[in-house]
A and B are shown apart, each in its own frame.
Chain A
């Protein structure tokens, strides 16, 4: 029997005439996962909330059939809905930091459905059940975690606690609305595994995500939602193998590009390079390091520069920073001359363009503590001495470190921490442009993705423009809006990231892409292709 059957569901929200959900039909059986994928605003969450009667006040829900756990849910009273919520259907929201009541301990949150639906249960029995539930979601040290508050847990553990609380009323169906969106990649994988185990144990799952990779890993059947309608509903294997609808194909194509970032609104041009050239060595034994590189970088955008070592990427970076003078061409910063100025003319504006290098161990004074490293950069802004420490702590928090590191020296930090400190130091000058020269190449893959995520989120929150240089296509791909492919000092191909990855023109670009696809990482990052 189906846990849920929905036929021709229509939902209108107050203040808008158009239906947010417009004629949607699906059903979910026990042990099955039904996935809804689509961009934000497609109506995914409203569809899911309709199954537990939790749409905003004034929402009008109509359906030919809306059966939840054997109950016709079309005209339920609030009291009847409450009997279903938690007991027949559980809800797991996006980020447990905000989806759990921050003022209550984990045990109180997990046991709430028990208090609501099994009022006869004694305090001791409830406590036992809470521990069982936490064990069921593989929470380490459940007795300790139960006593903690959500903010005291890591993102992954918090999400487990949220899942435990959704399971507490023993629902047959779990609605997971973007259950892994706020999590790091590795933690994401663990939560996906947990959800799969729950599904295999017979739980029905309604999975909502904008992330095709998650849907693919869990869903048996997938609906692609756009503007309130299911444009395509297919068994997962078929959908990913042979998408029918153009919108689905577009989604899959975008995803196969290892999730090139969405393009932010067009910002002003903050950095413009025109026909840069640099030659080293004496006449006769010249080395043309860079020849004829031009591009524009806009606020909030990332230009990725990819190529093998020795292709001139770092030389370009130095010319952008103004630490190297181009032989030909020029760099303009915020529309004003930059590379053509003498250093004294550049100094006042130096703070606006900062660099993050590959090897931060050698980029730091080995005798300086993190506090000294940061204070020096902070002081350059004219911040009074007494305020510098507070600002340093603030910067550390922005790069997801804590003030516990203030007293450490560079060699006492892990590679990931060191790179975060390097980012914090760059941010201290409040730059509008970051030049990142192989910023994650010295790091482990899992740490890499964390640092990249940090850079992406900093870009989003601060509208930073970035020049991102790497030999590693996978790394450049995840961040860049525009790409320059460099070989022997020359740009062989240049363009918008999505187009360039979809249809590479130059043989060298194809070679790079092929190598990337053949590498184990390339394959795993192309789960959806």
Chain B
């Protein structure tokens, strides 16, 4: 067993360095997103002061005072550096509209969206696996293909409305407008998961087909393994290794999809916050959401890379080699 430990030690030496490199990449991505977001939002025409004062009218002196207070009178570069400085301390600024710290605004609405997304991912994986397995049998493969096509091409809001109509109003299985409890989460999560499930299923099925064409399959079957065993112990892992990378990107798209779903189902959440902030031109909130999305996106991709390494040891070996 000593040999085995030595082998493990050899393998862990480099992954630490690789993990560090990947974390640096996360920081760079977030910084880039914050920078691009900061400058592009300044391009939106209109005076932030109008947003700050709302509908009331004030004198020019008051306006100048407000600019002074919010630091809007300084040169853009100074504003940018100040923003970065605060960002480093975890301060996302203050909402123009609500006059609350952006972190609080986001924090209050984070939980419902996270719940929604986590459940949607779980559903998506479940549905994708189900449909991919359905597609294994030549008799049901065309059914699986059709389901995938519908899932991928149907618009989210339409799926949402259909689900509400059937399971909410029609069958009454799930509440239509409730915002608390697991039941209220099911329909939105399913709505969000369906297009994603369609894509994962397609990739998974392709991966399974590719894996079954590999020569080792003959060896496995020659050992007397059943096709179930071949699938669960061998080919599914090959297929997962090729699909898991995609899952990372889809999580990013779920974040965008939550805007639609939260609107359709009238749920609270980040999507709504983002939508309102954009409509109201509440720049600090929009920027805060951009930064948050960048953080989530790059962390998820980091996780996906690590999982992919675990699934396919050859990847880790290649990268250690490179």
CB distance from B118 to the nearest CB of A (A): 27
Question: Judging by beta carbons under 8 Å apart, are B314 and A54 in contact?
Answer: no
CB distance from B95 to the nearest CB of A (A): 46
Least distance between A108 CB and chain B CB atoms (Å): 8
Q: Is the interface of B mostly helix, strand, loop or mixed?
A: helix
8 Å CB interface, A95-127 against B: 95, 98-104, 112-113, 116-117
Q: Mark B40-54, 1 if CB is under 8 A from A, else 0.
A: 000000000000000
B290 at the interface (CB under 8 A from A): no
Against A, the Cβ 8 Å flags (1 = close, 0 = not) of B198-240 are 0000000000000000111011111111100100011001100
**Given A102-B216, A104-B234, A82 contacting B224 (CB threshold 8 A):** yes
Within 8 Å by CB of A112, from B214, B220, B314, lies: B220
Say yes or no for B3: interface residue by CB 8 A criterion: yes
Is B222 touching A86 in the complex (CB atoms < 8 A)? Answer: yes
Q: Is the CB of A103 within 8 A of B3?
A: no
Interface residue ranges of A109-157 to B (CB < 8 Å): 112-113, 116-117, 141, 143-144, 147-149, 151-152
Q: CA separation between A112 and B166, bound complex, in Å?
A: 47
Q: Please state if B216 and A101 are interface contacts (CB–CB under 8 Å).
A: yes
Judged by a CB distance under 8 angstroms, whether B139 is at the interface is no
A403 CB–B CB distance under 8 Å:
yes
Instruction: Collect the chain B residues with CB atoms within 8 Å of residue A54's CB.
Output: 218, 221-222
One of A90, A116, A152 near B317 (C-beta < 8 A) = A152
Determine the interface band of chain B, counting residues with CB < 8 A from chain A: 20 to 34
What total of chain A residues lie within 8 Å of the partner, measured CB to CB? Answer: 42
Interface residues in B287-317 (C-beta closer than 8 Å to A): 311-314, 317
**Contacting residues, chain A, for B224 (C-beta < 8 A):** 82-87, 113, 116-117, 169
Q: Say whether A20 faces chain B, with CB atoms less than 8 Å apart.
A: no
Residue of B216, B218, B311 with most partner-chain A CB within 10 A: B216
Which chain B residues border A90 with CB–CB below 8 Å? 222-223
Residues B223 and A116 in contact, CB atoms below 8 Å apart: yes
A99 in contact with B215 (CB, 8 Å) = yes
Check A303 for interface membership: any CB of B closer than 8 A.
no
A interface footprint on B1-40 (CB within 8 Å = 1, 0 otherwise) = 1011011000000000000000000000000000000000
Q: Is B151 interfacial (CB-CB < 8 Å)?
A: no
Q: Does B321 contact A (CB under 8 A)?
A: yes
How distant is the Cα of A100 from the Cα of B218 in the complex, in angstroms? 9
With A and B bound together, what is the CA distance between A143 and B4 in angstroms? 7
With A and B bound together, what is the CA distance between A379 and B314 in angstroms?
A: 31
A204 vs B236: C-alpha distance when bound (angstroms): 34
Report B97-139 CB contacts with A as 1/0, cut-off 8 Å: 0000000000000000000000000000000000000000000
Interface of A is mostly: mixed
- Enumerate chain A residues within 8 angstroms of B234, measured Cβ to Cβ: 101, 103-104
Among A89, A91, A151, which residue has its beta carbon within 8 angstroms of that of B219? A91
Q: How far is the CA of A127 from the CA of B241 in the complex (A)?
A: 27
When C-beta atoms are compared, the residue in chain B nearest to A90 turns out to be B222
Which chain B residue shows the least CB distance to A57? B138
Given A87-B224, A116-B229, the answer on whether A103 and B312 have CB atoms closer than 8 Å is yes
> A400-429 interface mask toward B, CB cutoff 8 Å, 1 = contact, 0 = none?
001100000000000000000000000000
Interface centre among A89, A101, A149 (most CB of B within 10 A): A101
- Give complex CA distance A85, B224 in Å: 4
A236 at the interface (CB under 8 A from B): no
Is A165 on the interface with B (CB-CB < 8 A)? Answer: yes
One of B1, B7, B214 near A98 (C-beta < 8 A):
B214
Whether B216 contacts A86 by the Cβ 8 Å rule is: no
A50-85 Cβ-contact flags toward B at 8 Å (1 or 0): 001010000000000000000000000000001111
* Cα–Cα, bound, A165→B216 (Å): 12
Given contacts A101-B216, A143-B1, contact A151 B317 (CB under 8 A): yes
Assembly CA distance A117 to B222 (angstroms)? 12
B220 near A101: Cβ-Cβ < 8 Å: yes
Question: Binary interface profile of A, 165-204, with partner B (CB < 8 Å = 1, else 0)?
Answer: 1101100000100000000000000000000000000000
Q: List chain A residues, Cβ under 8 A from B219.
A: 91, 93, 99-101, 162, 165
Least distance between B215 CB and chain A CB atoms (Å)? 4
Which A residues are in CB contact (< 8 Å) with B238?
Answer: 103
**B223 contacts A112, CB within 8 Å?**
yes
- List chain A residues, Cβ under 8 A from B221: 54, 85
On chain A, the residues within 8 Å of B4 by CB distance are: 143-144, 147
In the complex, how many angstroms separate the beta carbon of B251 from the nearest chain A beta carbon?
24
Contacts of A86 in B (CB 8 A): 222-225
Q: How far is the CB of A261 from chain B (nearest CB, A)?
A: 25
Query: Closest B-chain residue to A148, C-beta based?
Result: B7
Complex CA–CA separation, A175 to B222 (angstroms): 10
Kindly report which residue of chain B lies nearest to residue A103, judged by CB atoms.
B237
* Bound-complex Cα distance A302 to B1 (A): 51
Residue of A nearest to B311 (CB): A103
Q: How many Å lie between the Cα of A83 and that of B225 in the bound state?
A: 9
Is A82 a contact of B1 with CB atoms below 8 Å?
Answer: no
Complex CA distance for A529 and B321, rounded to whole angstroms: 46
Q: Are B226 and A82 in contact (CB under 8 A)?
A: yes
Question: Can you show 10 pairs from A to B with CB atoms below 8 A apart?
Answer: A82-B224, A91-B218, A91-B222, A95-B215, A98-B214, A102-B314, A104-B234, A113-B224, A151-B314, A151-B317
Besides A54-B222, A86-B222, A147-B7, 10 more A-B contacts (Cβ < 8 Å) are A99-B216, A99-B219, A101-B220, A102-B216, A102-B314, A113-B223, A116-B224, A144-B3, A149-B314, A149-B317
Ranked 5 nearest A-B pairs via Cβ: A144-B3, A91-B222, A86-B224, A86-B223, A85-B224
